[in-house]
Amino acid sequence: MKKILLLGSGELGKEFVISAKRLGCHVVACDSYTGAPAMQVADESEVFSMLDAAKLREAVERHQPDLIVPEIEAIRTEVLVEMEKEGRNVVPSARAVNMTMNRDRIRDLAVDLGVRTARFAYAESAEQLMGEAKAIGFPVVIKPVMSSSGKGQSVAQTADDIQNSWEYACAGMRGDRQRVIVEEFIKFDYEITLLTVKQKNGPTLFCDPIGHVQERGDYQYSWQPQPMIDKFRQDAETMAKAVTDDLGGVGIFGVEFFVTKDEVIFSELSPRPHDTGMVTLVSQNLSEFDLHARAILGLPIPNITVTEGASAVVLAAKDGVSPTYTGVEAAMAEPDVDVRIFGKPTTRPYRRMAVVLAKGENAVERARAAAAKIKVVTKGI
């Protein structure tokens, strides 16, 4: 039986724990707050800040896990790099986790590998941001180099927006580096996540592309498969293979691309299951969580099959505690619709609290319609 230390215990971790437990693993779920989703299904849990190097090291040394599995980006990844050198097994690799935590590192790597990206620059002050944005040309997208799920992200339409964008990015960034990436705004036809599985004993596998729609930099609904012309799909796979091979290790990666009418543009990637990939809970024979578990345990993945499916998020509206949910019965009364409530103990505006899954024809419309019936109710704080 393998012991897994899961660093981050949100909704993605919860599904991963279920997959790992089905394969007989013992899981210790960690996060910075009690009652996190993955803790509810794990064998043990630990509450501490994973940005605290000493606490992170102490937890690893006390539990002696066979595998360290990061589930979020906000981890003191230097500790994981050191621990890998000391012989510990970090999933997919300490380098992958360390590089993807910082947008600038992964972007520089993509450029080194000759992967097509949006035009971009970095800035460390509002003045510098203004200069770079003007050089790229408005509108531009601005994101802290350390953030996820759209935190601190904004679009500056004109020079008048730059000061606000800078302040918003500084307020939304984590870590101590006041640095942003400013990117050309890509007018894509659609965007995809290409789930890419690196195996210990076998070739890199690609799931069918997942299409998704984002608001405020955060995903709202996703579907699989997203049809793509062969050339574009091939281009995406080639880029995903180049980047994931360089990062190394085994496990699933969520590689994000923008697709315009002319080309496929690499955006970023997660070295772990991806939020838009929750659709695979209904659309694939093996979900992204099952695939991650199999890959990191060195188990075979003989085939991945897909049927039409979609996911749609349920968000909280305001700050609150002990949420309850209305409309779940109505949502579940729809055929081939399922609801996953994450069990987060508190709410905040736009916090993702549940996801609705639908399979079959018109899955997107049906998932969204069912999700719209569910409301998060709290007393407020």
Q: How far apart are CA 321 and CA 325, in angstroms?
A: 12
Q: How far apart are CA 328 and CA 137, in angstroms?
A: 46
Site for ligand GAR, residues 263 to 302, rule: CB under 6 A = 275
Least Å from the CB of residue 25 to ligand ATP: 26
Catalytic residues: 148, 150, 256, 268, 275-276, 352
Least Å from the CB of residue 88 to ligand ATP: 26
DSSP state for residue 207 in the 8-state scheme: P
What mask of x and - would describe binding to ligand ATP in positions 145 to 174, judged by CB under 6 A?
A: --xxxx--x---------------------
DSSP state for residue 341 in the 8-state scheme: E
Helices (H), 113-208: 126-136, 162-172
**Would you count residue 295 as binding ligand ATP (CB under 6 A)?**
no
62 marked as part of a ligand binding site? no
251 marked as part of a ligand binding site? no
Q: Which of 11, 22, 10 is nearest to 311 (CA)?
A: 11
Q: How far apart are CA 316 and CA 354, in angstroms?
A: 9
Q: How far apart are CA 340 and CA 352, in angstroms?
A: 11
Least Å from the CB of residue 319 to ligand GAR: 12
184 marked as part of a ligand binding site? yes
> Based on CB atoms, which residue is closest to ligand GAR, 72 or 90?
72
DSSP state for residue 39 in the 8-state scheme: G
**Would you count residue 313 as binding ligand GAR (CB under 6 A)?**
no
Site for ligand GAR, residues 141 to 160, rule: CB under 6 A = 148-149
> Based on CB atoms, which residue is closest to ligand GAR, 18 or 130?
18
3-class secondary-structure state, position 320 = strand
Q: How far apart are CA 327 and CA 339, in angstroms?
A: 11
Question: Of ligand ATP, ligand GAR, Mg ion, none, which one sits near residue 10, judging by CB under 5 to 8 A according to partner kind?
Answer: ligand GAR
> Based on CB atoms, which residue is closest to ligand ATP, 136 or 328?
136
The residue whose Cβ lies closest to ligand GAR is: 10
> Based on CB atoms, which residue is closest to ligand GAR, 71 or 288?
71
Q: Measured at the alpha carbon of residue 75, what is the angle toward residues 145 and 202, in degrees to the nearest 5?
A: 95
DSSP state for residue 35 in the 8-state scheme: T
**Would you count residue 191 as binding ligand ATP (CB under 6 A)?**
yes
149 marked as part of a ligand binding site? yes
153 marked as part of a ligand binding site? yes
Q: How far apart are CA 156 and CA 133, in angstroms?
A: 9
Long-range contacts of 252-255 (CB under 8 A, 24+ apart): 252/92, 252/195, 252/196, 252/197, 252/198, 252/288, 252/291, 252/292, 252/295, 253/92, 253/96, 253/195, 253/196, 253/197, 253/198, 254/193, 254/194, 254/195, 254/196, 254/288, 255/193, 255/194, 255/195, 255/196
270 marked as part of a ligand binding site? no
In this structure, are residues 199 and 205 in contact, taking their beta carbons and an 8 Å threshold? yes
Binding-site residue total for ligand GAR (CB under 6 A)? 13
Least Å from the CB of residue 256 to Mg ion: 5
Q: Measured at the alpha carbon of residue 286, what is the angle toward residues 282 and 291, in degrees to the nearest 5?
A: 125
Question: Of Mg ion, ligand GAR, ligand ATP, none, which one sits near residue 12, judging by CB under 5 to 8 A according to partner kind?
Answer: ligand GAR
Question: In whole angstroms, how far apart are CA 141 and each of 40, 192, 225, 244?
Answer: 37, 18, 27, 25
Question: Of ligand ATP, ligand GAR, Mg ion, none, which one sits near residue 100, judging by CB under 5 to 8 A according to partner kind?
Answer: none
Among 5, 11, 41, 184, binds ligand GAR (CB under 6 A): 11
**Would you count residue 8 as binding ligand GAR (CB under 6 A)?**
yes
- The binding site for ligand GAR (CB under 6 A) comprises 8, 10-13, 71-72, 148-149, 275, 344, 351-352
- The binding site for Mg ion (CB under 5 A) comprises 256
- The binding site for ligand ATP (CB under 6 A) comprises 118, 141, 143, 147-150, 153, 183-186, 191, 214, 217-218, 256, 267-268, 275
What residues form the annotated binding site? Answer: 11-12, 71, 103, 143, 148-153, 183-186, 191, 256, 268, 275, 344, 351-352
